[in-house]
Structure 1
Amino acid sequence: MKKRGKWLTAMGLAMLLTLQTPVAAVVEASTDGGIQQEMTVENQKGTKEDRDESEVQSEEEQSEKQSDLEIQKNDIIDEERTEVIPQEASQMSESVKKEQIIYTWKYDAEIGWQLWKSEGEEEEKICAPGVYILKDGIYYLGVYETEDKEVSRIKEEEPEQGVLKEGMVSVTDTTPVITDEEKEIILQEGTYYFSYETGGEEESQQPRDGKYLTNTWVHPGEDVSVWYYVNKEGVQEDPALHEGPMQNETGYFYLDKQGKSQSGKFKINGVIYNYDGKGNRSQIRDGWQQDGNNWYYIENGQQATGWKNLQSNWYYLNPQNGILQKGVFRDYTGTLYYADSNGRMISGNGWKQIGTAWYWLQAGGALTTGWINTGGNWYYLDPNTGAMHTGWYQVNGSWYYSDGSGMMQSGGWINLGGTWYYLGGSGAMYTGWLNLGGKWYYLDPGSGAMRTGWYRDGATWYYSDGSGAMVSGGWLNQGGTWYYLSGSGAMYTGWLNLGGKWYYLDPGSGAMRTGWYRDGATWYYSNGSGAMQSGGWINLGGTWYYLSGSGAMYTGWLNQGGSWYYLDGNSGAMHTGWYQVNGSWYYSDGSGKVEAGRWMNQGETWYYLSGSGAAFTGWQKIGNTWYYFYDDCRMAANTWINNYYVNSDGAWSDTATVMPGATYNYAFPTAQTKKGLQVKDGMEDDASNLGVKHAVVNIALNHVASGSGIEYQYQGKTYYMNTGYIHELDRQIKELHNRGMVLTAVIVLQWNYQQQDLILPGARSYGYNLYGWNTQEATGKQHLEAICSFLANRYAAPDMGVVNWICGNEVNAWKDYHYSGSVGFDQYMEYYAQAYQLLYNCVKHAYSNGRIYMSIDHTWTYNRRANCYTSKSVLDRFAQLMNQKGISDWMIAFHPYPAPELQSDFWNRTLDVIDSENSPIITMANLSYFTEYVKKNYGAGKRIILSECGFTSVTNGNDRQDIQAAAIAYGYYLAETNDMVDSFVVHRQVDHSAETQQGFHLGLWTCKPGSTETADSKKQAYDVFKYMDTKQYMTYTKFALPLIKKNSWEQAVSGFNPAKFT
């Protein structure tokens, strides 16, 4: 049925049975009681005749209203029916009459009265809430609700139930009002009060005479002390508009702003009434009236104020509120008076004790205040209370003292509670310095108390003995400590010269110093008498120090008698044995003299001390021979230092090189951007289409080695390299190089039954991913050297262009990726350092500018499992070993995977990713703290490549290609702006089935179902990766900004410069 609606004006509402009812699906109704318009309430005020007259008048008004209501209701209903039932209804056929709509009420014992509609033989229950205008009245139908949670749960699955309700209802401009002919009328907004009658028990009598109330007072709920007024339109008015007195047929009330009936006394038109809050009020009688603890005087029905003489007694009533004053008070002239507990003013002439206090009363009752002299003595009466003061009190900034009788004291010393004070002739207490009989006394500026012992006046300290007399002019010993007081009594601080000797008095305490002490940045020493020592060596506790003529302790280098000595820069103690100064090591004999210009042997270790005494480090030419000294100054022997061999005497032999000198010296290449990819073999064209600038290939040493194939001569022995594997590498590397990519080779060692000589002896067990290199056995080490030499000379060639070489993979995961057997951390790191040194030597001999990297992952200070070390511990120990081996240009390959690894949104950090160089995990989110750590501890020359960056496109089983693409773009921009990072390499070009089974979908392509690593379809990350370093970058990456909660890449990445891409 299509509904037609119209706005109902105030006049229209009056015609609709004074229809002012709220309703609809958006309406809430209150059924918590209320008051009907026709209710009869006993009026508890006035005379019986008044009540009878009021009741008669009320009944007449109600009768008139009811008659008007019935006439208006019938008029409106007849008018509305004309739209459905024509005037010729009497001529309608019997079939049409049967279709007339009839509304009836039915009672449900659980729910209440419900409205039913029948049309012919069909009958249905009305459930929609709203206002319904029926032939016999206007009703509000609400929604049935139960407080039983179990019943409510069951009924959630059933249609809502409509139930007849009464009480307050709120109406909005969308509330429908339905007539019995199903017309809709929209009421004005407001709150209405609905009511109906049943005429008996609900089960036996149908509801009738439904209406909402107008021009009357109603209760909005169960609280019968709250009243709201509904106006002639039936709309409830704001209770705040009716704050104050209210009268209705039930009595007299005084309402607050919330409509709550109040009890108590209220003044109305100057007359005070007492309301009980229940409809009764009474006017206050003349005379004294008590309200709580306060008394008032009512005169002619109004509160009296000011002075009142009653029965020869004076009373004072506050002019503001009429309250009777008691105790001390001021009248309207500001004069103090005193009234007893009954409010009667006390009068007299002279002293009068009231309670425990004394007052001076004048004849008129006024209290005297301030100073008063009586009997030759002075007394002080409080200006605010008139009470006489005793003890200490302050007047106009000066302190005075009166004894227990109130008599002011003056002219001399007074002792109170063991403390002495001095009072002047006027009685004012002295403060500050006081000279009596040639002696100085100091009276505290705040309290006036005479000071003894130490005290300070301004910035100067003084001392007074037990009598309070100040001490001056000489030494003073207090508690075993000596002080010096000047002629004025001021305590000395700093340097003091007496009898040609210098003494130092502490600048803070003034105490004379003995032993070591410091003045400014200089140390001095005084003996037990306090006299400062100077001019020569002094031995204290077995340690030698040197003091200058001024007494200052020497630090640093000292030349005495042609010999050099070194005095510690902090303690001044003379050094013997080894010590380090400004990065250089020195050695002094037992007398402290510095050894210089000679060889020195200690424990079969040789050192050379230069002419200045500094021990040599690095390459040094002594005579005609070159030697190498480690960072700890030890001479190297029987070892290789980079590309050079030193013999058992430490001398470099230029004929003992194991490998040839550097073959290639071309400049290290640079790339326009840092975008990199681990390129899948056979997809070089795709990598080129993607604009890859850095390419990574993996080379397995065990695959290179072969029983037959390409011959390679190394140290007089022939080794064979796998022809098929090498030719495939040749093709791939050459194609990538010819496309202008900077190439990185990851050199790893896998299991091979035929090539076990390449694996460390203690690690030759099948079942591990990657293995440690055999640098312990001569044949295995030489075989590894031959393979690495072959690879370096072949692929570092200018036409191949492999310039970066990574030794192993994530070596902190020792059991997974560099298994070296059951060895401790230090031994494991020594094995890896030897493997790195082997690869380093091979690459440097082939290409002088080649870069060799150690490899670690993102578990920085967090040891994720028992078979891993933290990357930080591995890096720090590796750096120490490289220093010992004389290799300074080592580099780092780092893998900043997200945490957890299966969630690519690295910007949503976990608790393990924090902004600290000690963060448990390092991801792209806090990469800068890792690079800053490297820069701070190992120098800006340490280059870092992010050689393996992986972000999965599937998270928790959900395809989130957008997250993967956003992570690649965001991560790349963070790398692009980091000056320590050379490349950002995405781990997979195509998803790998072995990884997808574990939940890792890291490729730019999906993998063809059933294959291992065959490209199937491009992911969203493909185009993002392709264009993220081009002028079209925003077109393909702006989708990521809302995901990372940023407005621009400039906001997301500090230092981001799009000009580099355009």
Structure 2
Amino acid sequence: MIKRGDKMNFKKWISLCCMAFSLTLAVPIAASATGTPEAETEPAAPVQTNGWSEDHTYYLQDGKKITGVHQLSDGYYYFFDGSGTLLTGRQGYVRYNKAAYFVKPDGTLLRNSWGKADGNYYYAGDSAKLHTNTAARIGGKIYCFNTKSVKLTNGLKKIKGNTYLLAASGAAKTGIQLYNGKRYFFNTSNGRMMKNRKIKYNGKLFFATTKGPLVTGWKQVGDKTYYADSKGRLKTGWQTYQGKRYYFNQRTGALRSGWVNIDGRYYYYTPSGSVKTGWFKVGKNTYYGTPSGPLKGARLIEFQRIGGKRYLFNTRGVLLTGWQNRNGHRYYMDSKGVVTTGWRKIKSQWYFFESSGAMKTGWLVHNGNFYYMNPKTGAMTTGRKTIGGQTYTFASSGIYTQRTLSGSWVVKVNRAANVITVYKGNIPVKAFLCSTGMDNATPLGTFSIRDKLWRHELNGPTWGYFCSHITDDILFHSIPAPTTERTAVPSYKFNMLGQQASQGCIRLAMGDAKWLYDTVPVGSTVVVYDDASYPGPLGRPANFKMNEDPVYYYDPTDPIAYPSYSTSK
């Protein structure tokens, strides 16, 4: 129920409202009646559709707030959250659309530089994305980043299956590195640890195992064997280990096995890699490897003296047996390969082989007896035989008994053929190879043996043994040596027998010079002549060679070192 006072107030309020309403309606009417123009209304500001908001908290593009990562016209990258608000006021790692970024307090993203947050280092590339789970070259150095984009440091770290060795700064180490007592090699271009492969670094070879450490000591890799020192360097060339000699390929470092050609000489290596020396067999063939010295294991070829016996090897080093031809002469090796000398019965026929092993043909004087060996086959003649128009009768032993040696000794020197034939009367007794003077320095003519000198100083000075003058300046002598030692005979000079090589004297092998010295007396006739087409009635003696390693050694016919030579003569 409304009281009296209240009724009065209510009525007053109603009256005021009615008055106000009337005034409101009256104003436009009055204005219209008086002709006063209406006040002009200002147009509304246009709605912004592109660019930053006034408070710089969001960015519009076609009237809509952008979200995520964007590079704006100022060249900077920014990150806007799901509501379009620019992320500011903090610094650190954020992820967006499967990529990682680093936000700075001003809202820009890190780009082409390092950033640090919570003690961790990050690096953003040109697109502002952080390097994540990768290795990257930055400022000339390689750095690694984990799946959280954090730079890794200190020790071995694995990224996408590749292993890196990182310093305290995080920079990857390259080349050979020592880590926990083992050596590793890290690729110099990308920092990755090399595994299960050969490496060439600073001119040296290395081999990394499947787990990475470099090989030291012996290592079998597939069918190849290697040997490395304590620093991992693979050995190449010749190496000696525990008294055995090995050869490692100069290019690959692999241990060689089988036949290996080194500087023109062949060596044979067992599957374990040690070189064969002395006698050895490969398949059905027999070989001989030099037993010691700088050429230890080198396969011998051609004629060789081993253990006081001579052997013949072909150019492949195979020991030869049976009949063989060399340098125009015929030789016979027994079943063990020994070169036959002296008398030998072969398939019911008798043959005679000189001390060099060359089969004798034509007239033979042996132990004071005369024999005739078939000029074509070398077989000893028995019975009646016409030789040079004269008929001779030979006993079943081959000895020609109807004639004995008589007359004076004559030494004939065929200068053109470099062959000496010694006669007793008119019977040729011996033939030797010699070396006369270069450019025909040995004079032609008839001379005589003037003296006998056991040793004599020659030009140089050099010394010769078993010397005999035929003129004041020309004499017979052994191969000249630079000292008086019998072991100082130069092999290359010995090997020149059969050709001109001296300054005029007549050189012979030591054994031949001694025979001439012992047999032919002073006063005997010496004839020097030229006949290149016919060396003499006994033919051209075999020209066997002296081993040129070592350069100086005994003359292989020296009776001091090889008594069998003198006895066979």
What's the TM-score once normalised by structure 2's chain length? Answer: 0.41
Greater helix percent: which structure? 1
Q: Higher RCO, 1 or 2 (CA under 8 Å, sep at least 6)?
A: 2
Greater strand percent: which structure? 2
